[in-house]
Chain A
Amino acid sequence: MMKATMTNQQTPTGTTRDTKRNMHPAISARIISSGLAIASTLGIASAFTVSAKAETTGNQVLNNLILAPTQNVLATVPATAGIAAPTQPAPAAATPAAVTPAAAPPAATAQAPVVINIAPPAPQAQWTPPATTGSK
Protein backbone atom coordinates (compact mmCIF):
# COMPACT_ATOMS: atom_id res chain seq x y z
CA MET A 1 0.00 0.00 0.00
CA MET A 2 1.50 3.29 -1.03
CA LYS A 3 0.99 5.79 1.76
CA ALA A 4 2.65 8.92 0.55
CA THR A 5 4.94 10.21 -2.12
CA MET A 6 6.00 13.79 -1.96
CA THR A 7 8.87 16.16 -2.09
CA ASN A 8 10.10 18.06 0.89
CA GLN A 9 12.13 20.71 -0.87
CA GLN A 10 11.37 23.25 -3.52
CA THR A 11 13.12 24.33 -6.64
CA PRO A 12 14.13 27.99 -6.86
CA THR A 13 11.00 28.66 -8.87
CA GLY A 14 8.80 27.27 -6.15
CA THR A 15 7.58 24.20 -8.02
CA THR A 16 8.21 20.68 -6.82
CA ARG A 17 9.76 17.96 -8.87
CA ASP A 18 11.41 14.59 -8.34
CA THR A 19 14.92 13.95 -9.38
CA LYS A 20 15.04 10.82 -11.51
CA ARG A 21 18.41 9.20 -11.26
CA ASN A 22 19.16 5.60 -12.04
CA MET A 23 22.34 5.53 -10.03
CA HIS A 24 23.93 7.82 -7.48
CA PRO A 25 26.96 9.61 -8.94
CA ALA A 26 29.09 8.41 -6.06
CA ILE A 27 28.21 4.82 -6.90
CA SER A 28 29.00 5.35 -10.55
CA ALA A 29 32.31 6.86 -9.56
CA ARG A 30 33.01 4.00 -7.20
CA ILE A 31 32.25 1.40 -9.88
CA ILE A 32 34.48 3.17 -12.37
CA SER A 33 37.30 3.63 -9.90
CA SER A 34 36.98 0.01 -8.75
CA GLY A 35 37.11 -1.16 -12.35
CA LEU A 36 40.17 0.93 -13.05
CA ALA A 37 41.83 -0.33 -9.90
CA ILE A 38 41.17 -3.97 -10.78
CA ALA A 39 42.28 -3.47 -14.36
CA SER A 40 45.38 -1.70 -13.14
CA THR A 41 46.16 -4.39 -10.61
CA LEU A 42 45.66 -7.16 -13.13
CA GLY A 43 47.78 -5.39 -15.67
CA ILE A 44 50.65 -4.69 -13.28
CA ALA A 45 50.52 -8.15 -11.71
CA SER A 46 50.51 -9.95 -15.02
CA ALA A 47 53.21 -7.69 -16.39
CA PHE A 48 55.47 -8.46 -13.45
CA THR A 49 54.70 -12.16 -13.68
CA VAL A 50 55.28 -12.29 -17.39
CA SER A 51 58.48 -10.33 -17.02
CA ALA A 52 59.83 -12.62 -14.31
CA LYS A 53 58.90 -15.81 -16.10
CA ALA A 54 60.18 -14.61 -19.44
CA GLU A 55 63.66 -14.22 -18.02
CA THR A 56 63.93 -17.90 -17.23
CA THR A 57 61.66 -19.62 -19.74
CA GLY A 58 60.82 -19.56 -23.37
CA ASN A 59 58.09 -17.95 -25.39
CA GLN A 60 55.63 -20.82 -24.88
CA VAL A 61 55.33 -20.01 -21.18
CA LEU A 62 54.99 -16.34 -22.02
CA ASN A 63 52.10 -17.04 -24.39
CA ASN A 64 50.33 -19.17 -21.82
CA LEU A 65 50.62 -16.52 -19.15
CA ILE A 66 49.18 -13.82 -21.33
CA LEU A 67 45.89 -15.71 -21.49
CA ALA A 68 45.77 -16.73 -17.86
CA PRO A 69 46.12 -13.84 -15.39
CA THR A 70 42.50 -12.71 -15.16
CA GLN A 71 41.30 -16.20 -14.31
CA ASN A 72 44.11 -16.72 -11.82
CA VAL A 73 43.43 -13.53 -9.89
CA LEU A 74 39.68 -13.93 -9.77
CA ALA A 75 40.00 -17.52 -8.61
CA THR A 76 41.68 -16.30 -5.42
CA VAL A 77 38.65 -14.21 -4.38
CA PRO A 78 36.45 -16.34 -2.08
CA ALA A 79 32.81 -16.62 -3.06
CA THR A 80 31.77 -15.44 0.41
CA ALA A 81 33.99 -12.39 0.53
CA GLY A 82 30.94 -10.19 1.15
CA ILE A 83 30.03 -11.81 4.47
CA ALA A 84 30.74 -9.48 7.35
CA ALA A 85 31.48 -10.74 10.84
CA PRO A 86 28.63 -10.27 13.32
CA THR A 87 28.62 -6.98 15.19
CA GLN A 88 28.50 -6.52 18.93
CA PRO A 89 25.69 -4.72 20.78
CA ALA A 90 26.26 -0.96 20.79
CA PRO A 91 24.30 2.13 21.78
CA ALA A 92 22.37 4.13 19.22
CA ALA A 93 23.54 7.60 18.30
CA ALA A 94 21.82 10.09 20.60
CA THR A 95 22.73 13.04 18.40
CA PRO A 96 22.90 13.61 14.65
CA ALA A 97 26.03 12.46 12.87
CA ALA A 98 28.66 15.17 12.75
CA VAL A 99 28.57 17.18 9.55
CA THR A 100 31.69 18.81 8.22
CA PRO A 101 31.00 22.54 8.36
CA ALA A 102 31.07 24.39 5.08
CA ALA A 103 34.00 26.68 4.44
CA ALA A 104 33.49 30.13 5.90
CA PRO A 105 32.51 32.73 3.32
CA PRO A 106 35.07 35.37 2.53
CA ALA A 107 34.95 38.46 4.70
CA ALA A 108 32.35 40.92 3.54
CA THR A 109 33.54 44.08 1.97
CA ALA A 110 31.64 47.30 1.80
CA GLN A 111 29.34 47.27 -1.19
CA ALA A 112 25.87 48.20 -2.19
CA PRO A 113 23.11 46.24 -0.47
CA VAL A 114 21.77 43.29 -2.43
CA VAL A 115 18.11 42.35 -2.33
CA ILE A 116 17.67 38.63 -1.77
CA ASN A 117 14.45 36.79 -2.32
CA ILE A 118 14.24 34.36 0.57
CA ALA A 119 12.39 31.20 -0.33
CA PRO A 120 9.79 29.98 2.15
CA PRO A 121 10.91 27.06 4.30
CA ALA A 122 10.61 23.61 2.78
CA PRO A 123 7.33 21.95 3.65
CA GLN A 124 7.50 19.41 6.46
CA ALA A 125 7.39 15.96 4.98
CA GLN A 126 4.16 14.11 5.64
CA TRP A 127 5.49 11.03 7.36
CA THR A 128 3.64 8.54 9.50
CA PRO A 129 6.18 7.08 11.90
CA PRO A 130 5.88 3.35 12.51
CA ALA A 131 5.30 2.54 16.17
CA THR A 132 7.41 -0.08 17.84
CA THR A 133 5.17 -2.84 19.11
CA GLY A 134 5.68 -6.42 20.15
CA SER A 135 3.67 -7.69 17.21
CA LYS A 136 6.31 -10.09 15.93
Chain B
Amino acid sequence: MSTLTQEVFACMGNTADLTVIGDPSLLGVARLRLAALEQHWSRFIASSDVCALNSSKGAAIRVHPDTITLVRYLVDAQRLTNRVFDPTLLPSLVQLGYAQSMTNAALVTQLDGSLQWGQPLAATSINVENSTVTLPAGLTLDPGGLGKGLAADLVATELRELGAEGVCISIGGDIRCAGIGPIDGAWPIPVASPFISSDILATATLFDGAIATSSLDAKTWSVGNSVMHHVLSPKTGLPLQRSPGQVIQSTVIGAEAVWAEVFSTVVLVAGVMEGFTQVEAAGLAALAVFADGRSLESSRWKEYTK
Protein backbone atom coordinates (compact mmCIF):
# COMPACT_ATOMS: atom_id res chain seq x y z
CA MET B 1 0.00 0.00 0.00
CA SER B 2 1.52 3.28 -1.08
CA THR B 3 0.65 6.80 -0.14
CA LEU B 4 1.48 9.76 -2.33
CA THR B 5 2.06 12.95 -0.39
CA GLN B 6 3.01 16.27 -1.95
CA GLU B 7 4.00 19.41 -0.12
CA VAL B 8 5.17 22.88 -1.19
CA PHE B 9 7.16 25.06 1.20
CA ALA B 10 9.71 27.87 1.32
CA CYS B 11 13.27 26.62 1.07
CA MET B 12 16.68 28.14 0.38
CA GLY B 13 15.26 31.51 -0.66
CA ASN B 14 12.97 29.78 -3.08
CA THR B 15 10.17 27.21 -3.19
CA ALA B 16 10.52 23.49 -2.69
CA ASP B 17 7.97 21.05 -4.10
CA LEU B 18 8.38 17.62 -2.56
CA THR B 19 6.51 14.43 -3.43
CA VAL B 20 7.03 11.20 -1.54
CA ILE B 21 5.47 7.86 -2.38
CA GLY B 22 5.65 5.85 0.81
CA ASP B 23 5.65 6.82 4.47
CA PRO B 24 4.30 10.42 4.66
CA SER B 25 6.45 11.11 7.73
CA LEU B 26 9.45 11.18 5.38
CA LEU B 27 8.37 14.66 4.30
CA GLY B 28 9.20 15.89 7.78
CA VAL B 29 12.60 14.24 7.56
CA ALA B 30 13.22 16.01 4.26
CA ARG B 31 12.19 19.42 5.57
CA LEU B 32 14.52 19.16 8.53
CA ARG B 33 17.36 18.02 6.29
CA LEU B 34 16.85 20.89 3.84
CA ALA B 35 16.68 23.41 6.68
CA ALA B 36 19.98 22.10 8.04
CA LEU B 37 21.64 22.30 4.62
CA GLU B 38 20.47 25.90 4.24
CA GLN B 39 21.97 26.79 7.61
CA HIS B 40 25.33 25.41 6.45
CA TRP B 41 25.31 26.64 2.86
CA SER B 42 23.53 30.01 2.71
CA ARG B 43 25.64 33.01 1.76
CA PHE B 44 23.08 35.19 3.58
CA ILE B 45 23.22 33.48 7.00
CA ALA B 46 26.16 34.87 8.95
CA SER B 47 26.66 31.68 10.98
CA SER B 48 26.82 29.40 7.92
CA ASP B 49 29.91 27.48 6.84
CA VAL B 50 29.90 29.36 3.54
CA CYS B 51 30.00 32.74 5.30
CA ALA B 52 32.82 31.47 7.51
CA LEU B 53 34.77 30.42 4.45
CA ASN B 54 34.07 33.71 2.67
CA SER B 55 35.62 35.65 5.54
CA SER B 56 38.42 33.18 6.25
CA LYS B 57 41.23 35.09 4.44
CA GLY B 58 43.12 31.92 3.66
CA ALA B 59 42.70 30.25 7.07
CA ALA B 60 41.56 26.66 7.47
CA ILE B 61 37.90 26.50 8.55
CA ARG B 62 36.28 23.51 10.17
CA VAL B 63 32.95 22.84 8.44
CA HIS B 64 30.13 20.32 8.48
CA PRO B 65 30.77 17.19 6.38
CA ASP B 66 27.91 18.26 4.07
CA THR B 67 29.87 21.42 3.34
CA ILE B 68 32.92 19.34 2.47
CA THR B 69 30.74 17.64 -0.13
CA LEU B 70 29.46 21.01 -1.40
CA VAL B 71 32.93 22.51 -1.75
CA ARG B 72 34.20 19.46 -3.61
CA TYR B 73 31.38 19.84 -6.12
CA LEU B 74 32.00 23.58 -6.50
CA VAL B 75 35.69 22.99 -7.21
CA ASP B 76 34.96 20.11 -9.60
CA ALA B 77 32.24 22.06 -11.44
CA GLN B 78 34.55 25.01 -12.10
CA ARG B 79 37.32 22.69 -13.32
CA LEU B 80 35.13 20.39 -15.46
CA THR B 81 33.50 23.32 -17.27
CA ASN B 82 36.76 25.17 -17.94
CA ARG B 83 35.57 27.87 -15.52
CA VAL B 84 32.43 28.63 -17.54
CA PHE B 85 30.58 27.67 -14.35
CA ASP B 86 32.24 29.96 -11.84
CA PRO B 87 31.17 29.96 -8.17
CA THR B 88 33.65 32.73 -7.25
CA LEU B 89 31.66 35.66 -8.67
CA LEU B 90 30.00 36.66 -5.40
CA PRO B 91 32.00 39.90 -4.85
CA SER B 92 30.90 41.13 -8.26
CA LEU B 93 27.29 40.12 -7.61
CA VAL B 94 27.26 41.99 -4.29
CA GLN B 95 28.87 45.03 -5.88
CA LEU B 96 26.14 45.00 -8.53
CA GLY B 97 23.52 45.27 -5.81
CA TYR B 98 22.53 41.71 -4.91
CA ALA B 99 23.66 41.63 -1.29
CA GLN B 100 20.27 41.34 0.38
CA SER B 101 18.20 38.18 0.36
CA MET B 102 15.12 38.55 -1.85
CA THR B 103 13.00 36.55 0.56
CA ASN B 104 14.24 37.91 3.90
CA ALA B 105 15.37 41.54 3.96
CA ALA B 106 17.08 41.00 7.29
CA LEU B 107 19.66 38.72 5.69
CA VAL B 108 22.49 40.55 3.95
CA THR B 109 25.75 39.18 2.57
CA GLN B 110 28.70 40.91 4.24
CA LEU B 111 31.97 40.81 2.31
CA ASP B 112 35.40 42.34 2.65
CA GLY B 113 35.91 44.95 -0.07
CA SER B 114 39.27 43.55 -1.21
CA LEU B 115 38.00 40.24 -2.50
CA GLN B 116 38.64 38.87 -5.99
CA TRP B 117 36.36 37.08 -8.42
CA GLY B 118 36.82 34.91 -11.49
CA GLN B 119 39.76 33.02 -10.02
CA PRO B 120 40.47 29.26 -10.13
CA LEU B 121 39.56 27.22 -7.07
CA ALA B 122 42.19 24.58 -7.81
CA ALA B 123 44.33 25.69 -4.86
CA THR B 124 41.50 25.06 -2.42
CA SER B 125 42.61 22.61 0.25
CA ILE B 126 39.99 20.14 1.46
CA ASN B 127 40.84 17.89 4.40
CA VAL B 128 38.15 15.25 4.61
CA GLU B 129 39.62 13.61 7.73
CA ASN B 130 39.59 16.84 9.73
CA SER B 131 36.54 18.26 7.92
CA THR B 132 38.34 21.50 7.16
CA VAL B 133 38.48 23.68 4.06
CA THR B 134 41.15 26.25 3.24
CA LEU B 135 39.96 28.63 0.54
CA PRO B 136 42.66 30.64 -1.24
CA ALA B 137 42.92 34.10 0.36
CA GLY B 138 40.70 36.64 -1.39
CA LEU B 139 38.28 34.08 -2.87
CA THR B 140 34.69 33.43 -1.92
CA LEU B 141 32.07 30.81 -2.74
CA ASP B 142 28.46 31.23 -3.83
CA PRO B 143 26.72 27.83 -3.92
CA GLY B 144 23.70 29.32 -5.75
CA GLY B 145 21.89 26.82 -7.94
CA LEU B 146 24.53 24.14 -7.45
CA GLY B 147 23.67 24.06 -3.76
CA LYS B 148 19.97 23.65 -4.53
CA GLY B 149 20.60 20.87 -7.03
CA LEU B 150 22.95 19.07 -4.66
CA ALA B 151 20.44 19.41 -1.82
CA ALA B 152 17.76 17.83 -4.03
CA ASP B 153 20.10 14.95 -4.87
CA LEU B 154 21.08 14.32 -1.25
CA VAL B 155 17.52 14.40 0.07
CA ALA B 156 16.09 12.23 -2.71
CA THR B 157 18.81 9.63 -2.19
CA GLU B 158 18.39 9.64 1.58
CA LEU B 159 14.61 9.30 1.42
CA ARG B 160 14.96 6.31 -0.88
CA GLU B 161 17.41 4.75 1.60
CA LEU B 162 14.80 5.34 4.32
CA GLY B 163 12.26 3.33 2.38
CA ALA B 164 10.46 5.79 0.08
CA GLU B 165 9.27 4.00 -3.05
CA GLY B 166 9.43 7.22 -5.05
CA VAL B 167 10.67 10.76 -4.51
CA CYS B 168 10.47 13.92 -6.57
CA ILE B 169 11.96 17.09 -5.16
CA SER B 170 12.15 20.46 -6.83
CA ILE B 171 14.07 23.35 -5.30
CA GLY B 172 13.51 26.44 -7.39
CA GLY B 173 13.12 24.35 -10.54
CA ASP B 174 16.10 22.06 -9.99
CA ILE B 175 14.35 18.71 -9.86
CA ARG B 176 15.53 15.27 -8.84
CA CYS B 177 13.34 12.19 -9.30
CA ALA B 178 14.09 8.76 -7.90
CA GLY B 179 12.23 5.50 -7.68
CA ILE B 180 8.76 4.76 -8.94
CA GLY B 181 6.81 7.74 -10.23
CA PRO B 182 3.03 8.22 -10.06
CA ILE B 183 2.30 8.25 -13.80
CA ASP B 184 2.92 4.79 -15.22
CA GLY B 185 5.99 4.55 -13.02
CA ALA B 186 7.49 7.76 -14.39
CA TRP B 187 7.82 11.38 -13.37
CA PRO B 188 6.69 13.64 -16.26
CA ILE B 189 8.20 17.11 -15.71
CA PRO B 190 6.99 20.14 -17.70
CA VAL B 191 9.53 22.67 -18.97
CA ALA B 192 8.08 26.15 -18.55
CA SER B 193 8.46 28.81 -21.25
CA PRO B 194 10.63 31.80 -20.36
CA PHE B 195 8.10 34.09 -22.07
CA ILE B 196 4.84 32.89 -20.51
CA SER B 197 5.45 30.69 -17.49
CA SER B 198 2.12 28.87 -17.90
CA ASP B 199 3.17 27.76 -21.39
CA ILE B 200 4.88 24.39 -21.54
CA LEU B 201 7.73 23.98 -24.04
CA ALA B 202 8.11 20.24 -23.53
CA THR B 203 7.49 17.51 -20.99
CA ALA B 204 10.44 15.37 -19.96
CA THR B 205 9.66 11.85 -18.79
CA LEU B 206 12.08 10.93 -16.04
CA PHE B 207 12.58 7.73 -14.11
CA ASP B 208 15.73 8.00 -12.01
CA GLY B 209 17.07 11.33 -13.14
CA ALA B 210 17.13 15.07 -12.83
CA ILE B 211 16.29 18.22 -14.76
CA ALA B 212 17.34 21.81 -14.11
CA THR B 213 16.68 25.14 -15.78
CA SER B 214 18.65 28.40 -15.68
CA SER B 215 17.23 31.68 -16.89
CA LEU B 216 18.21 35.31 -17.24
CA ASP B 217 14.79 36.37 -16.03
CA ALA B 218 15.05 34.92 -12.54
CA LYS B 219 16.30 36.91 -9.54
CA THR B 220 16.20 40.41 -11.03
CA TRP B 221 16.61 43.78 -9.29
CA SER B 222 16.79 47.40 -10.38
CA VAL B 223 19.68 49.82 -10.18
CA GLY B 224 18.50 53.21 -11.40
CA ASN B 225 16.77 52.56 -14.70
CA SER B 226 18.60 49.28 -15.29
CA VAL B 227 17.18 45.86 -14.52
CA MET B 228 19.94 43.53 -13.39
CA HIS B 229 19.95 39.73 -13.20
CA HIS B 230 22.15 37.25 -11.36
CA VAL B 231 23.75 35.29 -14.21
CA LEU B 232 27.17 36.86 -14.61
CA SER B 233 29.84 36.43 -17.24
CA PRO B 234 32.94 34.87 -15.63
CA LYS B 235 35.03 37.03 -17.97
CA THR B 236 33.53 40.44 -17.19
CA GLY B 237 31.79 39.88 -13.86
CA LEU B 238 28.74 41.62 -15.35
CA PRO B 239 25.25 40.27 -16.11
CA LEU B 240 24.95 38.55 -19.50
CA GLN B 241 23.67 40.97 -22.13
CA ARG B 242 20.28 40.29 -23.64
CA SER B 243 20.54 40.17 -27.45
CA PRO B 244 18.47 38.29 -30.08
CA GLY B 245 21.04 35.51 -30.29
CA GLN B 246 21.54 35.22 -26.53
CA VAL B 247 20.28 32.09 -24.79
CA ILE B 248 17.84 33.32 -22.16
CA GLN B 249 16.83 29.93 -20.76
CA SER B 250 18.48 26.55 -20.81
CA THR B 251 17.26 23.23 -19.46
CA VAL B 252 19.47 20.19 -18.94
CA ILE B 253 18.58 16.58 -18.12
CA GLY B 254 21.07 14.32 -16.35
CA ALA B 255 21.35 11.66 -13.71
CA GLU B 256 21.74 14.22 -10.91
CA ALA B 257 20.33 17.69 -10.32
CA VAL B 258 23.70 19.08 -9.29
CA TRP B 259 25.22 18.43 -12.72
CA ALA B 260 22.04 19.32 -14.59
CA GLU B 261 22.17 22.70 -12.84
CA VAL B 262 25.86 23.21 -13.59
CA PHE B 263 25.49 22.49 -17.29
CA SER B 264 22.29 24.51 -17.66
CA THR B 265 24.33 27.47 -16.44
CA VAL B 266 27.10 26.57 -18.88
CA VAL B 267 24.71 26.69 -21.86
CA LEU B 268 23.37 30.04 -20.68
CA VAL B 269 26.81 31.56 -20.14
CA ALA B 270 28.78 30.03 -23.02
CA GLY B 271 26.01 29.80 -25.63
CA VAL B 272 24.97 26.74 -27.60
CA MET B 273 28.23 26.16 -29.48
CA GLU B 274 30.45 25.76 -26.43
CA GLY B 275 27.61 24.83 -24.08
CA PHE B 276 26.18 22.00 -26.17
CA THR B 277 29.69 20.69 -26.79
CA GLN B 278 30.16 20.31 -23.05
CA VAL B 279 26.64 18.90 -22.60
CA GLU B 280 27.18 16.27 -25.31
CA ALA B 281 30.60 15.32 -23.94
CA ALA B 282 29.03 14.68 -20.55
CA GLY B 283 26.24 12.55 -22.06
CA LEU B 284 23.55 14.99 -20.96
CA ALA B 285 20.56 16.43 -22.87
CA ALA B 286 19.72 20.12 -23.27
CA LEU B 287 17.15 22.57 -24.60
CA ALA B 288 18.15 26.19 -25.21
CA VAL B 289 15.70 29.05 -25.79
CA PHE B 290 16.92 32.26 -27.42
CA ALA B 291 15.76 35.81 -26.77
CA ASP B 292 14.10 35.94 -30.19
CA GLY B 293 11.95 32.89 -29.38
CA ARG B 294 13.90 30.25 -31.28
CA SER B 295 14.90 27.07 -29.48
CA LEU B 296 17.50 24.40 -30.06
CA GLU B 297 17.71 20.82 -28.74
CA SER B 298 20.83 18.77 -28.15
CA SER B 299 21.02 15.33 -29.76
CA ARG B 300 19.75 13.44 -26.70
CA TRP B 301 16.85 15.73 -25.79
CA LYS B 302 14.28 13.66 -27.69
CA GLU B 303 15.20 10.57 -25.68
CA TYR B 304 13.34 12.11 -22.75
CA THR B 305 10.63 14.16 -24.46
CA LYS B 306 9.32 11.97 -27.28
Contact = CB atoms under 8 A, between A and B. Distances in A.
A91 B254 CA distance: 4
Interface of A: 1-9, 11, 17-19, 21, 23-24, 26-27, 78-80, 82-97, 124-136
Interface string B44-71: 0000000000000000000001001100
Contact of B69 (A17, A27, A79, A86): A86
Contact of B182 (A19, A23, A96, A127): A127
23 contacts: A2-B6, A5-B24, A7-B3, A21-B163, A78-B128, A80-B129, A82-B65, A83-B68, A86-B76, A87-B256, A88-B259, A89-B283, A90-B254, A90-B282, A91-B253, A91-B285, A92-B209, A127-B4, A127-B183, A129-B168, A131-B189, A132-B175, A135-B215
A127 B173 CA distance: 17
B208 A3 contact: no
Contacts of B213: 132-134
Contacts of A88: 80, 259, 282
B36 to A, nearest CB: 14
SS class, residues of chain A in contact with chain B: loop
Please indicate which of the listed interface residues A6, A24, A94, A135 has the most CB atoms of chain B within 10 Å of its own CB: A135
Given A87-B259, A95-B207, A134 B168 contact: no
Interface of B: 1-9, 14-15, 17, 19, 21, 23-24, 65, 68-69, 72-73, 76, 80, 128-129, 131, 144-145, 148, 161-163, 168, 170-175, 182-183, 185-192, 194, 197, 200, 204, 206-219, 249, 251, 253-256, 258-259, 261-264, 282-285, 300, 303-304
Contacts of B23: 21, 24
